């Protein structure tokens, strides 16, 4: 019993003898030996397997290499994520945050604008109501006027319009009278050798002034022009004019001014007629047609009376045409037979004179057939081609 450890433990107070033991070391050594044998056997087995199967070792190395490669790729993936994806995510988050802030501001501005639009529409509605109220007030004020006041206003308006219309009518009538009250007279003296151009200036002046009838029509206007139709004297025109007196329902123009203007006109007319009568009858040509063409352009379109006085034998003797030839003197009827050819030569030189509304008086002794047919030729020409109102032949004015 003394050499049994279990018994020593069970027996309280027993003392276990301290005998040295090597069983633990032996067990450890056997275990190592068995592991070494197993390892060696495994090595032999795998060596024989690899010898029989040479690819299996290469596959193992390849698998190991791929495993290491995957590990490196995984490591690189982690580093890439840390280097790139994290900052990008942060930037995207910042952008999203800014966008949210902008959307919030826009939404707030839209709300504010909607409120302003609503207020503006309200103000417009208030203005429209105010305008309606003002119009209603004006209409009400007008309706409140008495019938008498409105009647008085209508009567005043009626009479004011009538007065204005009456004044305009009087003014127009007065202007119409003034526009029509103008007498224009041309006095032409033929100073050619074939015509007796000696004039009695005193008698001619008196008859012309009486013909203007200034004693009965004291406000009329008169224009008296004098000229000759000899060689090269077409443009030698002298004029004496008496302006129309200003007359209207408002008055205007004094008697003294009218007398003064009349005195100047009479003096000028007398001097021009004296100068015309003093012209010598020494011209070898008679530019009758060109003279009449030139003077016809001086007539006024507003004249109420137009006259043309011709002291001439009416024999055209110029580069235009020559009627004072033996062919016509011996056979004056040829003037009418060759009428178309003669007036064609007139028109070729210059357009026909415009004598519309003009009364023509020819002073001619009419003592032979040649003078008679000369008159008949010019009478037809003045009436047919020139549009004259009338043509008369007299032996004296």
- CATH code: domain of residue 312: 3.40.50
Query: Rounded mean pLDDT of 125-142?
Result: 77
Strand partners, 222: 183, 242
Q: Tell me, yes or no, whether 170 and 189 share the same domain.
A: no
pLDDT digits (tens, 9 = 90+) for 294-309: 889 999 888 889 999 9
- 309 and 187 in contact (C-beta within 8 Å)? yes
Checking if the pLDDT of 192 tops 90, the result is: no
Residue 102 lies in a domain: yes
Cα distance between residue 339 and residue 337, in whole Å: 6
Q: Please give the residue range of the domain that contains residue 163.
A: 145-180
Predicted local distance difference test score (pLDDT) of residue 167: 45
Checking if the pLDDT of 87 tops 70, the result is: no
Predicted local distance difference test score (pLDDT) of residue 73: 76
Q: What is the pTM (predicted TM-score) of this model? A: 0.55
Predicted local distance difference test score (pLDDT) of residue 338: 93
Residue 72 lies in a domain: no
Confidence grade of residue 250 (pLDDT, cut at 50, 70, 90): very low
Predicted local distance difference test score (pLDDT) of residue 347: 93
245/151: higher pLDDT: 245
50/395: higher pLDDT: 395
CB atoms within 10 A of CB 283: 22
Q: Tell me, yes or no, whether 214 and 341 share the same domain.
A: yes
148/288: higher pLDDT: 288
Checking if the pLDDT of 149 tops 70, the result is: no
Residue 320 lies in a domain: yes
Residue 30 lies in a domain: no
Q: Tell me, yes or no, whether 306 and 363 share the same domain.
A: yes
Q: Tell me, yes or no, whether 158 and 196 share the same domain.
A: no
287/397: higher pLDDT: 287
Which of 8-12, 123-127, 137-141, 329-333 is least confident? 8-12
What rounded mean pLDDT belongs to the chain? Answer: 77
Q: Tell me, yes or no, whether 163 and 232 share the same domain.
A: no
Predicted local distance difference test score (pLDDT) of residue 170: 45
Q: Tell me, yes or no, whether 241 and 212 share the same domain.
A: yes
pLDDT digits (tens, 9 = 90+) for 55-79: 555 666 667 677 777 777 777 777 7
Of these ranges, 84-88, 219-223, 351-355, the one predicted with the greatest mean pLDDT is 351-355
Confidence grade of residue 319 (pLDDT, cut at 50, 70, 90): confident
41/388: higher pLDDT: 388
Q: Tell me, yes or no, whether 272 and 189 share the same domain.
A: yes
Residue 65 lies in a domain: no
Which of 169-178, 245-254, 256-265, 284-293 is least confident? 169-178
Query: Rounded mean pLDDT of 176-198?
Result: 72
CA 116 centroid distance within chain: 43
Checking if the pLDDT of 8 tops 60, the result is: no
Predicted local distance difference test score (pLDDT) of residue 58: 61
Predicted local distance difference test score (pLDDT) of residue 358: 95
pLDDT digits (tens, 9 = 90+) for 221-236: 899 999 888 765 565 7
Residue 18 lies in a domain: no
Predicted local distance difference test score (pLDDT) of residue 98: 82
Q: Tell me, yes or no, whether 223 and 272 share the same domain.
A: yes
Q: Tell me, yes or no, whether 329 and 367 share the same domain.
A: yes
Predicted local distance difference test score (pLDDT) of residue 377: 94
Checking if the pLDDT of 350 tops 80, the result is: yes
Residue 54 lies in a domain: no
Residue 75 lies in a domain: no
Q: Tell me, yes or no, whether 319 and 222 share the same domain.
A: yes
Confidence grade of residue 147 (pLDDT, cut at 50, 70, 90): low
Q: How many domains does the chain have?
A: 3
Q: Tell me, yes or no, whether 336 and 386 share the same domain.
A: yes
Q: Tell me, yes or no, whether 165 and 288 share the same domain.
A: no
Predicted local distance difference test score (pLDDT) of residue 389: 94
């Amino acid at each position: 019993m003394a050499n049994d450890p279990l018994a020593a433990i069970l027996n309280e107070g027993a003392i276990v003898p301290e005998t040295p033991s090597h069983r633990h070391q032996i067990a450890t050594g056997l275990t190592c030996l068995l592991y070494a044998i197993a390892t060696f056997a495994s090595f032999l087995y795998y060596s024989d397997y690899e010898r029989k199967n040479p690819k299996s070792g290469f596959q193992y190395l390849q698998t190991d290499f791929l495993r290491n490669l995957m590990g490196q790729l995984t490591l690189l993936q982690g580093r890439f994520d840390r280097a790139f994806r994290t900052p990008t995510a942060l930037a995207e988050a910042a952008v999203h945050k800014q966008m949210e802030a902008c959307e919030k501001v826009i939404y707030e501005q839209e709300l504010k604008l909607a409120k302003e639009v609503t207020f503006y529409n309200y103000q417009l509605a208030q203005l429209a109501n105010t305008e309606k109220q003002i119009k209603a007030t004006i209409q009400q004020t007008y309706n409140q006027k008495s019938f008498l006041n409105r009647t008085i206003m209508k009567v005043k308006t009626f009479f004011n319009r009538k007065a204005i219309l009456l004044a305009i009518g009087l003014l127009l009538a007065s202007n119409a009278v003034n526009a029509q009250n103008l007498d224009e007279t041309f006095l032409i003296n033929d100073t050619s050798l074939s015509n007796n151009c000696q004039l009695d200036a005193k008698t001619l002046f008196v008859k012309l002034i009486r013909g203007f009838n200034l004693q009965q029509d004291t406000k009329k206007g008169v224009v008296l022009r004098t000229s000759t139709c000899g060689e090269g004297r077409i443009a030698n025109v002298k004029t004496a004019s008496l302006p129309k007196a200003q007359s209207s329902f408002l008055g205007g123009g004094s008697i003294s001014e009218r007398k003064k203007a009349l005195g100047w006109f009479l003096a000028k007319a007398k001097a021009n007629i004296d100068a015309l009568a003093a012209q010598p009858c020494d011209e070898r040509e008679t530019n009758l047609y060109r003279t009449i063409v030139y003077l016809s352009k001086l007539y006024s379109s507003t004249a109420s009376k137009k006259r043309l006085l011709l002291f001439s034998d009416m024999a055209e003797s110029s580069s235009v045409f020559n009627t004072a030839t033996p062919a016509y003197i011996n056979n004056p009827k040829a003037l009418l037979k060759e009428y178309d050819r003669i007036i064609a030569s007139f028109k070729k030189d210059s357009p026909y004179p415009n004598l519309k509304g003009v009364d023509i008086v020819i002073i001619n002794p009419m003592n032979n057939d040649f003078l008679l047919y000369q008159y008949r030729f010019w009478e037809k020409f003045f009436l047919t081609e020139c549009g004259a109102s009338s043509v008369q032949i007299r032996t004296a004015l």
